[in-house]
Amino acid sequence: MSAPLLSIDDLTVEYRTARPVRAVDHVSIEIAPGEIFGLAGESGCGKSTLAYAVTRLLQPPAEIVGGAIRWTPDGADPLDVLGLDGRELRAFRWSEISMVFQGAMNALNPVHTVRSQIEDVFVDHRSGLSRTERRARAEELLATVGIDPRHLTSYPHELSGGMRQRVMIAIALALRPRLIVMDEPTTALDVVVQRTILDEIDRLRSELGFAVLFITHDLGLLLEISDRVGIMLSGRLVEQGSSRQIQDAPRHDYTQHLLRSFPSLRGDMPATGTRYVDREPERRPS
Amino acid sequence: MTTLEVRHLTKDYRSHRGHGAALRAVDDFSVRVTAGETVALVGESGSGKSTVAKMAVRLVTPTAGEVLLDGVAPARGGRADKRYRSRVQMVFQDPFSSLNPSLPIAYQLARPLRIHGVVRSAAEEERELLRLMEAVNLSPAKEVLRKYPHELSGGQRQRVAIARALAPRPEVLIADEPVSMLDVSIRLEILQLLDDLKRENDLAVLYITHDLATARHFSSRIVVMRRGRVVERGRSDDVILTPVHPYTQLLVRAAPDPASGPFAVDLQRYERHPEVTLGALDPDLDTWPEDAHWARDWRDDDADRSLVEELTGLAAASR
């Protein structure tokens, strides 16, 4: 693997509620340029919290209590992501790392046109572009994600779920980031639409060369599209490896359990309908 | 032992108070589900599968066609509908919204027991509630019965919803996307439960889903719907392993399946599988052998042209 673009090192995030919850527990992940890293786990395992930590979007009561996140583009000096403040953070976010949110179908503003929502990114993050340049770039972006630029004047409700998702991806691509965090980007979509979006992400990745941190509870899907996969359970990263290795030789019980919990469509993989009990916290002194 | 038979169901929705153009949500749909059997109905959103479910439990009145139980069309109207629903029950998709958040579980399960006259006394009710909790593996039963929906996990809530559907002791169960809102890791658990209950109670189950993999593993036959019409039907393995209709092929190709090689789209597959009948008209339930593999003939169908073009592109790309 080439030098990592993003290194998450021993990251720990807690929610400082009445009973503090450790949502991310000493997690270390490295993502190389142009790589798709898939993060799998069930609801509540901390995968979205991790994504929000990377993009510095965590709000109280969530607090990063330990670890570091480093950003190293093209052999430049590593940037301490957790140390960024105000203007630095604004410059970093979206132009270096952007995000496609969970339920992105509803993340678009219903009272603004597609054009104004795409152009907003340029107005907000890079005041250099003129009005005509912004228009041209918005058109180009829509075309990039396979939508006819005449939809620039459309409102979100005039578009199908799949098209809205493409618009969200166009917005994430706007400043040509090196990494896009995608949190359950296809969960609300039909299988057929999901497949076209996944094909699209793969195509754009090979054309534009960005890396992806892809988060979903659907391990089957993740194994197909990711180069490497990490499995999270109760805040801990219990296993990581290449998709092939996770598929063929999973080491952790929980990974094996997850693999058994979705039947193969065309194969004869036996599936189980049992529940996995996480025994780790009982064994460990806290 | 009850057989659910849905015959030539059609549903038109009219917009603008009946003056607009009609949208045909379901077009001449037929299926037979015998006791102790699960039949899967698959298709994308908008294909009409949920409308079929709603017509089967009488939440929606069909424009044409009928639903028969053991070959008889049950009467319609207030009391008759109630009697009908004690025989045909439904499990809804979203366990987060299908339970009343302001009432304890015990109340929500006791209502159908009372309404459908399953129990007559408090003691009977208590016994029956515990039996239902045991049937869906929710324990400790007494404690869970006292809880409110928000105190339960999604999987537990769906178990409660299943228990509620079982309360009137139905003979037919319509499960409309019963696990699609749940985490992948607990889906099988719930489907396994439905499967066990089907066997124990000799239920006829119509399983509505967009997930082909669980459709194949939990049902003996699959019916594929697109735009209100059946496009392919047959034994589960036949439909999934040798899909003939372009739409079925599109679905099979789209479903994640990391354990198998990539699926090859092949529009000429039917030529090598003479056992598959291609037809323009749906097969007649009375004469059609249930296990036979049927696909709608798409070759001269204008409605399928864009689909076929898309598939041709995919077939070329996968070569």
Contacts of B182 by beta carbon, 8 Å cutoff, 6+ apart: B95, B154, B155, B158, B190
Share of chain B above pLDDT 70, in %: 97
Q: Residue B265, Cβ neighbours under 10 Å: how many? A: 22
Order of strands across the sheet that contains B22-33: B22-33, B4-14, B64-69
Single-letter code of the amino acid located at B266 = D
Mean pLDDT (whole number) for B309-313: 79
Q: Rounded CA gap, B248 and B254, in Å?
A: 10
Report the interhelical angle of B122-135 vs B154-166 (nearest 10°): 130
Mean pLDDT (whole number) for B124-145: 93
* Nearest C-alpha neighbor of A135 from the set A110, A118, A156, A148: A118
* pLDDT tens profile A47-60: 989 999 999 988 88
The pLDDT value recorded for residue A167 is 92
Mean pLDDT, chain B, as a whole number? 90
* Structural domain spans, chain B: 4-318
- Alpha-helix runs per DSSP H in chain A: 47-54, 86-92, 114-125, 131-144, 161-173, 191-208, 219-225, 243-248, 253-260, 280-283
Closest chain B CA to residue A270: B217
Judging contacts by C-beta atoms under 8 Å, the chain A residues touching residue B44 are 190-193
Mean pLDDT, chain A, as a whole number? 88
CB contact under 8 Å between A267 and B257, yes or no, is yes
- For residue A235, the distance in angstroms to the closest alpha carbon of chain B comes to 16
Contacts of B36 by beta carbon, 8 Å cutoff, 6+ apart: B198, B199, B202, B203, B204
The pLDDT value recorded for residue B95 is 84
* pLDDT tens profile A166-215: 899 999 999 999 999 999 888 777 888 888 889 889 999 999 999 999 99
Has residue A127 got a pLDDT over 80? no
Judging contacts by C-beta atoms under 8 Å, the chain B residues touching residue A190 are 44-45, 210
Task: Record the pTM.
Answer: 0.86
Q: Rounded CA gap, A203 and A205, in Å?
A: 5
Has residue B314 got a pLDDT over 90? no
Across the interface, of B241, B251, B256, the residue whose CB is closest to A220 is: B256
- For residue A182, the distance in angstroms to the closest alpha carbon of chain B comes to 18
Across the interface, of B190, B210, B240, the residue whose CB is closest to A266 is: B240
- CATH code for the domain defined by B4-318: 3.40.50.300
* Structural domain spans, chain A: 1-96+178-240, 105-176
Closest chain B CA to residue A254: B185
Order of strands across the sheet that contains A62-71: A21-31, A6-15, A62-71, A79-80
Q: Residue A257, Cβ neighbours under 10 Å: how many? A: 18
Across the interface, of B191, B193, B213, the residue whose CB is closest to A264 is: B213
The pLDDT value recorded for residue A286 is 45
The pLDDT value recorded for residue B18 is 61
Closest chain A CA to residue B188: A273
DSSP assignment of A128-177 equals: TS-HHHHHHHHHHHHHHTT--GGGGG--GGGS-HHHHHHHHHHHHHTT--
Q: Rounded CA gap, B6 and B3, in Å?
A: 10
CB contact under 8 Å between A261 and B187, yes or no, is yes
* Cβ(A43)–Cβ(B183) below 8 Å: yes
The pLDDT value recorded for residue A262 is 81
CB pairs under 8 A between A and B: 97
DSSP assignment of B126-144 equals: HHHHHHHHHHTT-SSHHHH
* pLDDT tens profile B100-114: 999 999 999 999 999
- CATH code for the domain defined by A1-96+178-240: 3.40.50.300
Greater pLDDT, A108 or A278:
A108
Q: Rounded CA gap, A257 and B305, in Å?
A: 43
Judging contacts by C-beta atoms under 8 Å, the chain B residues touching residue A43 are 154, 183
